[in-house]
Amino acid sequence: MSNIDSKIPKGPLAEKWSRHKEAIRVVSPANKRKLDIIVVGTGLAGASAAASLGELGYNVKAFCYQDSPRRAHSIAAQGGINAAKNYQNDNDSVYRLFYDTIKGGDYRAREANTYRLAEVSPNIIDQCVAQGVPFAREYGGTLANRSFGGVLVSRTFYARGQTGQQLLLGAYSALNRQIDAGSVEMYARHEMLDVVLVGGKAHGIVARDLTNGEIKRFGAHAVVLATGGYGNVFFLSTNAMGCNGSAAWQAYKRGAYFSNPCYVQIHPTCIPVHGSQQSKLTLMSESLRNDGRVWAPKKKEDAERLRKGEISPIDIKDEDRDFYLERRYPSYGNLVPRDVASRAAKERCDAGFGVNAEGKAVFLDFKYAIERLGRETIEKRYGNLFQMYEKITDVNPYENPMQIFPAIHYAMGGIWVDYNLMTSIPGLYAIGEANFSDHGANRLGASALMQGLADGYFILPYTIGDYLAGEIMVPRIETNTPEFEEAEKNVTSRLEKLYNIKGGQPVDYFHKKLGHIMWEYVGMSRNEEGLKKAIEEIAELKKEFWSNVRIPGEMNNINPELEKAGRLADFIDIGDLMARDALNRNESCGGHFREESVTEDGEAKRNDEIGCYASAWEFQGEDKEPVMHREELVFENVKLTQRSYK
Amino acid sequence: MADKILKKIYVKVWRQNNPSDKGRFETYEVENVSQGSSFLEMIDILNDQLIREGKDPIAFDHDCREGICGMCSMYINGHAHGPDSEITTCQLHMRKFEDGETITVEPWRAGAFPVIKDLIVDRTAFDKIQQAGGYVSVNTGGVPDGNTIPIAQVDAEEAMDAAACIGCGACVATCKNSSAMLFVAAKVSQFAKLPQGKVEAKRRAKAMVAKMDELGFGGCTNTGACELACPKNISISHIARLNREYLKAKFSD
Ligand SMILES: Cc1cc2nc3c(=O)[nH]c(=O)nc-3n(C[C@H](O)[C@H](O)[C@H](O)COP(=O)(O)OP(=O)(O)OC[C@H]3O[C@@H](n4cnc5c(N)ncnc54)[C@H](O)[C@@H]3O)c2cc1C
Ligand code: SF4
Ligand code: FES
């Protein structure tokens, strides 16, 4: 049985959070000044947390690897953010948002956390409006909403197709205000490379100044990781190039549990891979599926001729087009959830109906919407996305259907945290995409932004106080202790080891290989044989990497190849844990599709008997098998049902 | 959309090992680049080649590679973000270039943006300008319901037009005076169109302009080059609004 304590408060679901807040301790203003907090990461989660903690009076040190906190990956989110405001009077409520989220998560998230997320969501919108975030408005001046991702109410707030950007700029401005006020010290272009534990508690970090290679020590009474997701394990993903799992992985190696690593979300509407020179994939917003129809050719000959470029999609008559989502899921049609749409596209391509040169694309066609609504309406709704598509592909999507294919998008697994967002290491917290989140297996759209800001603005600032109230007698953390010494040595020797391999292949060569293994065996669908193969191949790749990578340049200068090498070394290990976790979870569960666990008509089949848990992996040492603990998930307020979109 | 292959191109690129190094151009040959590749992917190919030859790859800033983070920053053939309009370098594709062409690549050049290495420059001056007042002073919590601050749709849209600035610095790099006016104007304008933060509007305009001057950005002489180089189409009409806000603040002193 599990030896992990999620610290979920007792009492009725709707009262847990308010009762908990009443019960936990607060730190007096005079004592806050004596307490230091490190926040690693300044995306939505980290920037909102650092700003809020600074306002409260703590001394905050914030870190990011980019040149400015404004460039965190959160900036790229397009579609929107959910909140249970019920501004549209369509019967939305905290309970309904909670219910949709827990169901969308295939019942693999904690009830209490998910409810709290829904409960604080309205405050997020108010906060952002007050900061001057230019959300879309109705003519009367009130906030506008749109519907998103197969939900039946309109609860998504947005700022054009740039919602993440505007929310982040809001949090960045709050952070700037604190930097100006002196309560937050910002360390941009600094990469955290280790967590330092003193007496079992998190007491600081070791970071590398990326401009000159200097290794630095920072002490604090608590450390918060807001370092985002690990989707770049796959090499090609919609994530920014620098997104990494290294901070989470170092925490894991220091004793923090890693939860549900096999849960990664795949987004169905990305611009397909072309050729072999590509470095990343571009997402096309999910909102496109509100008006676009997805199809592949009915006849294999047509698909083949398309691949060879002999015919164009507009040559294919309507009756020869297979609108496979509408065919298979008559009630949801093109609006089925992301995992369903993604697998259906792969199924068509695997069966030989793919339409680009690689055979890995299907069409998203606006012809019908343009006929129905006119080009102008479509231009108004999706103009910027169409322009982006044309810039990348050189194809005009008003005249030709877009080509799309699924891609890795978001990490639902991450560092295990309790109800207070504390990891299994006292004083170490994880927020935003870096934690294993409140969502479980199949996150719905527009809820990652919500989670990042909920954690940073409204949850962590309270819960961390409870811990710090017990630390007020601890003097400012000295960094000249043996623990910091050891951590710095650990970091330096690893960098030197990598640098001195002086092998024959650049880092990207290995990253592409890893991505290939992951996509093939730990991608959209997984089976036992493939996962075992993945574990073997990853082990081989690891050996090859550590003996044959070549890192040019100097250690003590800007050295992107050295940065990438460190991250890749961790991605290789994360990939291994993902495969193990996937192997262990013998059920299909939203984002994780096990071929052994399907219904008669080939849909995902959850197995609540074996599967109603969150995994929590514990590090046992380099090259030792990790141990999995189970956090049993208890559902007192919702009834578990199989998802169906037929 | 079969992509053509560029059999050979020449990349003439600024190499500077550190801030105190003098720097020089080096020219490299790159073979077989698909026209469907982005400009940064072409640099990836070149870097792969340099690493294999035992040379130091070209350092450049980039992250999202989809035109939104504002990190990529290259001066290509005399244009900030290269020879195409309304895009960032990461959105520039090789179909804009021809077989055999020599492409010249330089870092953003502006006194307030010192070179760190090769094409990477230090743009922290932009953060410092924002820290001087580019925010609305509200604490977390204790704010009114969002709908108690109604905003006309046109105003919200105009604020959004201004807020779309990605902080890339192309405006500064393009301006012959290295002025940061377009960047500052975008932020001031965003808040000028919204009721929030009106209370501190005067302080904001003055503080941000003062900071910009202090950090060594030049003055604006209305040449309009910034607007043409801006990947997000930020209009110089925002500069006019900044000037109005600034004058209002001055006169009320
Ligand atoms: C293209 C795209 C579109 C999306 N659209 C939506 C949407 O419409 N709605 C929605 O809800 N979600 C969306 N998402 C998901 C959402 O954007 C992310 O899950 C969320 O922004 C993550 O925020 P974060 O603060 O946890 O992490 P991030 O924004 O990834 O921030 C991570 C931070 O950690 C720092 N960091 C990382 N490692 C280190 C280290 N070792 N040392 C120092 N600093 C480090 C980085 O510098 C950065 O500041 C989208 C994602 C993508 C890719
Ligand atoms: S105004 Fe335009 S060019 Fe200047 S920083 Fe903003 S986006 Fe870049
Ligand atoms: S890399 Fe983000 S804008 Fe170009």
B75-86 pLDDT tens trace: 999 999 999 999
What's the mean per-residue pLDDT of chain A? 94
Residue A425 near residue A448, CB atoms below 8 Å: no
CA A573 to CA A529: how far, in whole Å? Answer: 20
Which among A303, A328, A333 has a CA at the least distance from the CA of A316? A303
Q: What is the pLDDT of residues A478-510, one digit of tens each?
A: 999 999 999 999 999 999 999 999 999 999 999
Q: What is the pLDDT of residue A1?
A: 42
Listed range (A43-52, A386-395, A493-502) with the worst mean pLDDT: A386-395
What does the pLDDT look like over A549-603, one tens digit per residue?
999 999 999 999 999 999 999 999 999 999 999 999 999 997 899 999 999 888 8
Find, among A585, A582, A624, the residue nearest to A608 by Cα: A585
**Closest ligand 1 atom number to CA of residue A231:** 53
A159-193 confidence digits (pLDDT tens): 988 999 999 999 999 999 999 999 999 999 999 99
Q: Do B93 and A177 touch (CB under 8 A)?
A: no
The answer to whether residues A134 and A159 touch, using CB atoms and an 8 Å cutoff, is yes
Give yes or no for residue B71 CB within 6 A of ligand 3: yes
CA distance A72 to B70: 10
ipTM of the complex: 0.98
B-chain residues near A391 (CB < 8 A): 84, 87, 91, 93
Q: Which of B16, B68, B113 to mutate to test the interface with A (most CBs of A within 10 A)?
A: B68
Specify whether the CB–CB gap between B45 and A500 falls below 8 A.
no
Determine the atom of ligand 3 nearest the C-alpha atom of B64. Answer: 2
Q: Which of A169, A279, A558 sits opposite B41 (nearest CB)?
A: A279
By alpha-carbon position, which residue is closest to atom 33 of ligand 1?
Answer: A41
Nearest to A129 among B135, B139, B146 (CB): B146
Q: Which residues 6+ apart lie within 8 Å of A551 measured at CB? A: A498, A499, A501, A502, A507, A559, A561, A562, A565
Q: Which of B69, B160, B183 to mutate to test the interface with A (most CBs of A within 10 A)?
A: B69
pLDDT at A118: 97
pLDDT at A3: 65
Tokens representing A349 are 């391509």
Ligand 2 pocket test, pick from B232, B233, B236, B242 with the greatest ligand atom count within 8 Å of Cβ, gives: B232
Regarding the beta carbon of B81 and ligand 3, being less than 6 Å apart is answered: no
**Stretch 308-337 of chain A: residues touching chain B, C-beta under 8 Å:** 309
Q: Which of these ranges, A111-125, A339-353, A463-477, B168-182, has the smallest mean pLDDT?
A: A339-353
**Per-residue pLDDT tens for B207-221?**
999 999 999 999 999
Per-residue b or e along A595-606, where b marks 16 or more CB atoms closer than 10 Å to that residue's CB: eebeeeeebbbb
User: CB within 8 A of B156, min separation 6: which ones?
Assistant: A134, A135, A136, A137, B193, B194
| pLDDT value at B70 more than 90 | yes
| Closest alpha carbon within chain B to A120 | B141
- Residues of A annotated as catalytic (active site), given as ranges: 338
- The residue whose CA is least distant from atom 3 of ligand 3 is B67
Condensed to tens digits (0 to 9), the pLDDT of residues A294-310 reads: 999 999 999 999 999 99
Q: Is the pTM of this model over 0.90?
A: yes
Distance A39 CA to ligand 3 centre (A): 24
The encoded tokens of residue B66 equal 């989809």
Chosen for mutation from B30, B49, B51 (greatest number of chain A CBs closer than 10 Å) is B51
Q: Which ligand is nearest to the CA of A193?
A: 1
Q: What does residue A526 show for φ and ψ, rounded to 5 degrees?
A: -135, 150
- For ligand 3, whether the C-beta of B117 sits within 6 Å is no
pLDDT value of position A150: 64
* pLDDT for B1: 47
Task: Residue window 364-403, chain A: list those with CB within 8 Å of chain B.
Answer: 388, 391-395
> Residue A23, exposed/middle/buried by CB under 10 A (0-12, 13-18, 19+)?
exposed
pLDDT at residue A395 is higher than 90: yes
Of A52, A132, A391, the CB nearest to B194: A132
Chain B contact for A214 (CB, 8 A cutoff): no
Nearest CA in chain B to A180: B131
Phi first, then psi: give them for residue B157, nearest 5 degrees.
Answer: -65, -45
Looking at residue A285, its pLDDT comes to: 85
Say if the Cβ atoms of A48 and B140 lie within 8 Å: yes
